[in-house]
Structure 1
Amino acid sequence: MHSILRSARSTSLLRARPRVFQPTQLARSLVTKRFTVEHEAVEFDDATGLGVVRITDHAQQSLGDVVFVELPVVGTKVAQGDQIGAVESVKAASDIYAPVSGTITEVNDALSTQPGLLNKSPDDKGWLCKINLTSPDEMEKLLTEEAYNESL
């Protein structure tokens, strides 16, 4: 019996190093969605510094079927309130204004061939552009969802 225990102690199972628990760092980011009275919305991710600009569901419903979208040029520096594009529909044309200041980092090229994405998916695939915010505090000047809905 003694030899069995001795041989069991010498196996790699008993000599295996204990596992050391290494906690992973969890990165938290806060995504804030705010609105303008001109019916633009921006979702700002404080971890990346990017804001995704869209038109609101109310805007797309008011416009009707969107047939053309003019988007800004990547790299353009914009100030809050600057015109950054336009949307044309069967009912009307409407300008799009920058809800925040920053640099355009990306545009939704799919809208050039599928402008109807603004109607079908304004909160997902129908985004307009992404802006790297230079003044994230401008988000606080925009309307909360509750205040925006009250303004309709």
Structure 2
Amino acid sequence: MSIKYTPDHEWVKIEADGIVTVGITVHAQDALGDVVFVDLPEVGKAFAEKEVAGVVESVKAAADVYMPVDGEITEVNEGLRDDPSLANSDPLNAGWFFKVKLSNPPQLDGLMDGTAYDELVKNS
């Protein structure tokens, strides 16, 4: 399993069978502060890359969660709806947002690896 990153601070964990899991990065949750609400997409809905797929709200601000690749939502993290603070306490595991069935797998090649993402964050 490898993880890729977007310039919009989403992480994408590549799973088996053309499925990826998407969440917000540690940097994103640090910038947002305490997450109090998440609006997750509808299962079965298809999105294009860079389309807004959800919203995360914190005590400081609201931010869009962008679709990192073209695909269809196969699952959402209901636990995150019940406890939005998971996006802060465990953003890379229990705080995942949704799973996507890829419709254009080569788009993953355009995402950043961990080193490139770390450079982006360091220079922002």
Return the TM-score normalized by structure 2: 0.95
> SS of 1:60's equivalent?
helix
Q: Hey, which of these two has a bigger chunk of strand by percent?
A: 2
| Equivalent position amino acid for 1:79 in 2 | A
Shift of 1:111: 1.3
| Equivalent position amino acid for 1:38 in 2 | D
Residue of structure 1 in register with 2:51 after alignment: 82
1:84-132 deviation line (CA, Å, top 9, x unaligned): 0000000111000001111100000111110000001101100000000
| Equivalent position amino acid for 2:115 in 1 | E
For 1:124 and 1:133, the matched residues in 2 are separated by 20
Residue of structure 1 in register with 2:60 after alignment: 91
1:16-51 deviation line (CA, Å, top 9, x unaligned): xxxxxxxxxxxxxxx221101110010112x32100
| Equivalent position amino acid for 1:32 in 2 | S
Q: CA RMSD in A?
A: 0.7
> SS of 1:48's equivalent?
coil
For 1:97 and 1:66, the matched residues in 2 are separated by 17
Which ranges in structure 2 are unaligned for 5 or more consecutive residues?
none
Higher alpha-carbon Rg: 1
Shift of 1:80: 0.7
Residue of structure 2 in register with 1:130 after alignment: 99
> SS of 1:125's equivalent?
coil
Q: 1:43 aligned to 2:3?
A: no
For 1:130 and 1:110, the matched residues in 2 are separated by 14
1:53-96 deviation line (CA, Å, top 9, x unaligned): 01000000110000000000000011110100000000111000
> SS of 2:106's equivalent?
helix
> SS of 2:92's equivalent?
coil
| Equivalent position amino acid for 1:37 in 2 | P
> SS of 1:123's equivalent?
coil
Return the TM-score normalized by structure 1: 0.78
Structure having greater relative contact order (Cα 8 Å, sep ≥ 6): 2
State how many pairs are aligned: 121
> SS of 2:75's equivalent?
strand
Residue of structure 1 in register with 2:37 after alignment: 68
